[in-house]
Structure 1
Amino acid sequence: MGLLSDPNRRKALTSLLTRLNTPICVICYLAAIAWFMGLAFEPFTLRTYMSENAMGSTMVEERFFPRERELCLLRESLPLIRKRGIPVDWLVKTMQDRGLEVFTQSFSRTLPFPDENKERFIYWAKDIIFLVNEHDLIGMQAWLEGYHHTNITGMSFTPLQGRAGSIQAALSLELSSDVITSLDLVLEGLNGQLPNLDLANLFHAFCQKLGVLCTIQGKLQRHDWGSTEGYTVAAQTMTLMVLKQASGRPWGDHGLFLRYHIEAATIRGINSFRHYKTDATTLGRLFEGMFRKLNNLLERLHQSYFFYLMPSLSHFVSIGYYMPAFGLLAAILLLRALDLWVQIGSPALVTQDGVSEEEPSLSPGILSVLTPIVISHLTGVALYTLPILSQETAVEHFPVFILDKGTEQGWRVLKLAALLYLAVLLGCTALINFSLGFILAVTLVPAAACVTPHMPKSLGALAMILLSPGCTILYCIFLFQDLQEAPVTLPECCLLYLSVISQGILDHALYGSLVYPLLALFVYPCWLLLWNVLFWK
């Protein structure tokens, strides 16, 4: 406290931070990137463990042994599915023959793009709900809204005829082939939500018990964490999870359950590792064991982590380890804001005839600062509403020049406002979706820290465009495809770019994803403020 209350010491500290501002910012940026890349090292990770006592003390004894009749039903259903999709009538009759209560629900949803109006059907029973839905997430969203008596997406559907109690957990099973060689766990949900870590631990524990090959992000788990190859696979797995979480879209039907505080995950059957074929009996025992352990719960899963990254199924990175990487990036914005604050409050020195005199600073008019802020946000509103109002217009990221004539202090005040705005915006985003906040910070923080009206305009404009939110999406697409071992060319990436933009708009309209409005209404206007600083006259 003495350091801050003493004017001389406070002035010396401020002078030191101002003089070393640029080196400190560079060190913080490099340290943030190094910290994030180091998260895949074993010392930064924790081994997964079961936190819920009702699920971790002992394993259940699975009693699933399918008889010939069940296997015949499975073989009978496959040709029907291949021929006309989900065999609705056959499913109803088969489930009713097993003594299950079977109900149907019809619904329709008008998409924000024209000529799309379809009807779907859903089936379920009480206690353990067997839910079969068509058309992926739209059908699941209709059932969830009907089950919880909500209508947050404007969908029309018939009331549910049957209902169980409060849902504690859900498992979504996706089988694309009758030959299953491994199971892949999908955790990323709507707006970057993740289920309780114990659900992933439960899946991994039963896979180990029954000898089922399991993956996450499509990557096999390695045991040589100390080797270069082991670190590379762990870093790729963690980066894929960051990219998926940052997209804000639900990567499976489970992603829509999370908004209702239902812990859920998607398990996908993969047919790629030919030497590890898994039979139907083993899969049945695995799911029986998971459901029986979940059946032991007297309350919702809450003991383990909700904020984490997973470089493998056996290790995770907690929020306490990965948030410092973002904190270092946010510190750069605050240091730059402090530097501008000192410059605004200090009068400039002018030398005349060998004598230094203080030049009185001219305070910028409020309109000169407020005008670009208002115009930037109006541009963001236009970017948000245009794709929905003009359904046939393709949305592209475009820079907008906002030219103004003002004082030297004017651009400093505008940049100070932009820095503080960006710091608060990225901080709030990282608290909700760390991956999205971190990716935006990696590209926007250098632009915000370096931009001034005194730098070469052509070079500065090129750098600003390369560090814009639109180009950030392009980089993420390149990186995601490369990590998925499906690299794309530049023309293919541009097509994927337009597809990602359209998918973001659809996810917002259909499921309430917040990534598109966040980018259009807040991140893009903030970038435009920095663009205005560059072209300040």
Structure 2
Amino acid sequence: MGLLTDTRTQAVMSRVILAIHKPLEVLLYIAGVASLLVLAFTPLNEKTYFSENALLPGLVERKYLNDQSVKDYAKELTRLGAADNGKGPIPEDWLKAQFMDLGLDVFSQNFTVQHPFNVKAKGTQESGAVSGTNVYAILRAPRIASTEAIVITVPYRNKEAEAGRARTHYGIGLMLSLASFFSKNTFWSKDIIFVVVDKEEVGMQAWLAGYHDSHSEYLPTSLMLGRSGSIIAAINLELGSEFTDHIDLKIEGVNGQLPNMDLFNLAVRLCRVERVPVTFQNRFDPSERIVVKWAGLQHSATTMLLNMAKQASGKPSGIHGLFLRYHIEALTLQAHPAKRGSGVEAVGRVMEGVVRSVNNLLERFHQSFFFYVLPSCERYVSIGLYMIPFGLLLVVPTLRGMALWLLAMQSVEKMDTSSDEKDNDEKEDGDKKKKLELEQQGRPFGQVMPLIIGAHIMGAILFISPQYLVSEHIASFNVTPQGAIAIGFAAFFVGSASLPIFGRRNNFQTSEDLPSDWQLLKCLTLIWYTVTLLAVSMFNFSLAFFVAVPTIPIAVIVQPAEQSVLKIIQGFLLLMISPLSLLYSFITVHHGFFNPGDAMVDILTQGLHKTVDSLFEGVVNAYLYGNKSFALITLVWFPVWFLLWAVLFRKASGKKVSS
């Protein structure tokens, strides 16, 4: 510590930082991005394994046998759905009758989802309300009190809801068949809850809120008469046909949460044992002959980036994702239909193996990893590996902030010495006195703190603005709620960007007496930017990484420019990393990846439409599901971007010191 506090050591360190920080920043940025992508290469990551031995599927002798009942259940559901042109409600009475015939405790839950903005939902008569009914049955454990439970869920989809989604009639049929099979065994140490979910995510959220007594003003539900104990794990099944081409595993939850990796490994291992092809992100693992070649790296890196993209969105990839909010490990098994392939029996044996393995647990999931990314079904990159490249990225703005902190004390206005010789001595004394006063004042915090506080107040205003933008008056302007929020955000953004350009000099420009304030402003902005990225990475690493990669280079190079060309270039780059532009870029690239055959104009147009919808959906999900993406955009990234924008339009007066 003595070396660090010694003034001579500090002087040497300052000179070293100022001398090498630029080339070092470039090297660290390239190393950070490249090393994360290289981690997808099989020799550099780890093979998945079981941390909890009680889950080993080898301990479970699967006994489920397919019978005609699954087909009969599916045909009956299809008939009931066709009776009302595929637009009717969930067949509550029929489902309750089937579960009752099996001797289970059967209950139903009515719910009404009130839209946060009182918007009329599609297909509803009541403004802003979506009503539905969840049906659930409980198989009580015969050897123990109802202290713990395992949940099996299947979403009910009528013909209208099947648009863009897989059917689930065979999934409900398999659930009923498994309930019949499970009820004939006595080895259960946990209750098993079978839930047929109505209205997808909102229905699942209503059931979870009712089960845990965490109701909100947007999710009024009926009293839940049937309960069990603490839920250990949940498996969501989506099965739409008798034969399955492959099972795709979905793990992403709200705000990028992931289940314990042991649960994922369990599902993969059981699919392998039952010879059911299994994929992740709808991609098979690379073959052994290319796994250590360039093609294998490309395949694994693409799978890992798709996993990170879904995690970064903050939206659940299935209704299982809502369980993760309640610290319940969950995943979705989505069976892709085929004319020939694995039969219902194989999928049923996989489900049996998962449930019976979780039934073996003596304690909740606590081993293995909760923070990871997956390049394939049987390889993983843990937090101990991927945080190293991310740390290299965060060193870049930290180094630039340190350099600006040092430069802020060196950037003192050079005094004008071009006056007459007879007044030279008197003027020199006055300049020395003024310079001494400036050095005693130190860094001009008083000049930059109001701007920093004001930027965050603007972010808070943007955060609460949707409830004012979407009101009963927008109907008279023939504007949809999605359009109202998009237009309102764009107008707010344009107005905010205009403030540093047309604002008052003493608020947005460099003081003539304190010429180093732009360096201090950017220094504090970069430090805050680094701290917030690090905090976000602790719960959603993928989001922090996708924000850091495009924004760090631009955030580092931005500074006041006297030349108009440089100012225009920097302004364009800053506009490219503004919140709305980043959202549009991510969505457009994602859409283009999955639709490579579309024309570029169509990709850009669809990206714009999806951006408007995603912005509105993010606001709604913040109210209904606790999605934090909207809060991060408004309360964190917008103030940082605005402060960088203000730095660009400050006057670079005084002694020129390169940053």
TM (normalized to structure 2)?
Answer: 0.77
Within 5 Å, which residues of 2 pair with 1:421-432? 421-432=528-539
Change (3 A) 1:40 1:153: farther
SS in 1 for 2:206: helix
Is the aligned partner of 1:470 residue 2:559?
no
Contact 2:588/2:606 (<8 A) preserved: no
**Residue in 1 aligned with 2:250?**
186
Is 1:95 aligned to residue 90 of structure 2? no
Q: How does 1:273-422 map to 2 (within 5 A)?
A: 277-346=341-410, 348=412, 350=414, 359=435, 361=438, 368-391=447-470, 392=481, 393-395=484-486, 396-397=489-490, 398-399=493-494, 400-403=497-500, 404-407=508-511, 408-422=515-529
Per-residue Cα deviation, 1:26-53 (whole angstroms, up to 9, x for no partner): 1111111101111211122110111111
Amino acid at match of 2:192: I
| Residue 136 (str. 1) matches residue 200 (str. 2) | yes
Q: Write the distance in 2 (CA, Å) between the matches of 1:216 and 1:15.
A: 50
* AA aligned opposite 1:394: I
Distance 1:210 1:67 in 2: 17
- Matched position secondary structure for 2:244: coil
Is residue 2:581 matched to residue 1:498?
no
Structure 1's 388 and 170: CA in aligned 2 closer, same or farther, altered over 3 A? same
Q: Give the secondary-structure state (helix, strand or coil) at the position aligned to 1:119.
A: strand
1:5-16 superposed matches below 5 A: 5-16=5-16
List gaps (5 residues or longer) in structure 1. Answer: none
**Partner of 1:436: helix, strand, or coil?**
helix
The answer on whether the counterparts of 1:369 and 1:413 sit within 8 Å (CA) in structure 2 is yes
Displacement of 1:177: 4.3
Query: Any idea what the Cα deviations from partners look like across 1:421-463, whole Å, max 9, x if unmatched?
Result: 1111111001111011111111222222111112622111101
1:137-158 alpha-carbon deviations (Å, 9 max, x no partner): 1111111111111124642111
1:475 Cα offset (Å):
2.2
- The letter of the residue matching 2:16 is L
Counterpart secondary structure, 2:231: coil
- Secondary structure at 2:192 match in 1: coil
Question: Using a 3 Å threshold, how does the CA distance of structure 1 residues 385 and 495 change in structure 2: closer, same or farther?
Answer: same
Q: How does 1:150-189 map to 2 (within 5 A)?
A: 150-152=214-216, 154-189=218-253
Aligned counterparts, 1:423-462, within 5 A:
423-454=530-561, 456-462=566-572
- Per-residue CA deviation, residues 219-257 of structure 1 (Å, 9 max, x unaligned), is 111123112222212111100111111111112111111
Specify the alignment match of 1:58 in structure 2.
58
Q: Is the 8 A contact 1:188 1:244 kept in 2?
A: yes
Q: What is the CA–CA distance in structure 1 between the aligned matches of 2:18 and 2:241, rounded to whole Å?
A: 62
Specify which of 630, 634, 651 is matched with residue 516 of structure 1. Answer: 630
AA partner of residue 485 (structure 2): A
* Matched position secondary structure for 1:131: strand
8 Å contact from structure 2 (residues 244, 337) kept in 1: yes
Cα distance, 1:350 vs. partner? Answer: 4.4
Give the letter for the 1:492 counterpart. Q
Alignment check: 8 A CA contact 1:206 1:290 kept = yes
Between stretches 365-374 and 156-165, larger displacement belongs to 365-374
Counterpart Cα distance in 2 of 1:69 and 1:339: 72
Amino acid at match of 2:453: V
SS of the aligned residue for 1:76 comes to helix
Asked whether the 8 Å contact 1:401–1:531 carries over to 2, the reply is no
Displacement of 1:66 in angstroms is 2.7
CA 1:164–1:496 in 2, change beyond 3 Å: closer, same or farther?
A: same
1:236–1:483 Cα contact (<8 Å) kept: no
What is the alpha-carbon root mean square deviation over aligned residues? 2.3
Does residue 1:236 correspond to 2:302, yes or no?
A: yes
Deviation at 1:80, TM superposition (A): 2.8
Q: CA deviation at 1:366?
A: 5.2
TM-score under structure 1 normalisation? 0.94
Task: Tell me, yes or no, if structure 1 residue 256 matches structure 2 residue 322.
Answer: yes
Matched-pair contact (CA < 8 Å) for 1:376–1:525: yes
**Who wins on radius of gyration, i.e. which is larger?**
2
Give how far 1:69 is off.
3.7
Sequence identity of aligned pairs in percent?
A: 34
Task: Tell me the CA shift for residue 192 of structure 1.
Answer: 0.8
Cα distance, 1:286 vs structure 2: 1.0
